[in-house]
Amino acid sequence: MHRRLVEDGVNAVLFDTDIPSTERVSLDEAGARWNGYRLEELETAYIHGYAHESPIVPAPSGMRDWSVWQADYPARQQRQSFLTSLFIRLAHHGVRLVNPVEAAQAMFAKAHLLAGLAAEGFSCRI
């Protein structure tokens, strides 16, 4: 999708939420920056890999050592909060977002609603 935007002449930057430790991302009163580049100046940002998690729970990996998950939880929670704030701020400054926070929240709410209905015995066939 990002490649298609660029091919269509859109000045779009790809944000893969799996940020490598070599990247420098900051969000403060001076603005949002990615490796020194002012993000508020972007036209379009393509967000890849962002998912709303409320609460943040372990991925279904079969992990049974909850002490590891508990130790990692604060870092994941802070990372999620940072990304959410970053993307909301970009939208506030007029940057067009592909896959915005609101879309991820809507998908989370839909899955939560369907799981609740399934738990009550409702079924849906598509």
Tokens of 59: 């991925």
Which phi and psi angles does 120 have, rounded to 5°?
Answer: -90, 5
Task: Give one DSSP letter per residue of 112-124, joined into a string.
Answer: HHHHHHHHTT---
Angle between helices 66-92 and 101-119 (to 10 degrees): 130
Question: Running DSSP on this structure, what letter comes out for residue 29?
Answer: T
pLDDT tens by residue, the chain, 126 residues: 657 766 777 666 676 777 666 777 787 887 888 777 788 888 888 888 887 776 666 665 666 677 777 777 787 788 888 888 888 888 988 988 888 888 888 777 777 777 778 888 887 665
The pLDDT of residue 57 is 63
Q: Say what the pTM is.
A: 0.65
The pLDDT of residue 19 is: 65
Give the pLDDT of residue 122. Answer: 84
Give me the sheet containing 44-48, strands edge to edge: 12-16, 44-48, 96-98
